Copies of this chain bind each other. A is one copy, B any other.
């Protein structure tokens, strides 16, 4: 069973641009932070450089922006991971500020044999945690 995971993120000055709010690509930093923390806490592994054989590589990224976030604000990044094949995981995100949804999106990652740069089955640790 997939499970939601909440990561608290502080918006930094470097996340913003001259429009005074977080730059659109900055949200991918928040997505990445949430995945890495999820892997550490829930799977007990590094990510995306899992071990000497296995890496995860991104095959798609998407974000939709509803409201603006500002330097110094604290955001809640809600992550819902899901197996989409034996080789791919989709991470869905919803980012909230004080209960308001300000951004959502997803990242799809595929496990590879880092030495051959070929897709491989997702490590068991992930499958056991993500599959019901």
Binding site for B on A (CB under 8 A): 10, 12-14, 16-21, 23-25, 28-29, 32-33, 36-37, 40, 46-49, 55, 57-65, 68, 70-72, 107, 114, 117
Q: Is the CB of B25 within 8 A of A72?
A: no
How far is it, in angstroms, between the C-alpha of A114 and the C-alpha of B46 when the chains are bound?
24
Q: Which residues of B contact A68 (CB under 8 A)?
A: 117
Number of copies: 4
How far is it, in angstroms, between the C-alpha of A60 and the C-alpha of B21 when the chains are bound?
15
Q: Is the CB of A46 within 8 A of B72?
A: yes
Majority SS at the chain A contact face: mixed
Q: Is the CB of B71 within 8 A of A13?
A: no
How far is it, in angstroms, between the C-alpha of A114 and the C-alpha of B17 when the chains are bound?
14
Determine the residue in chain B with the shortest Cβ distance to A70: B18
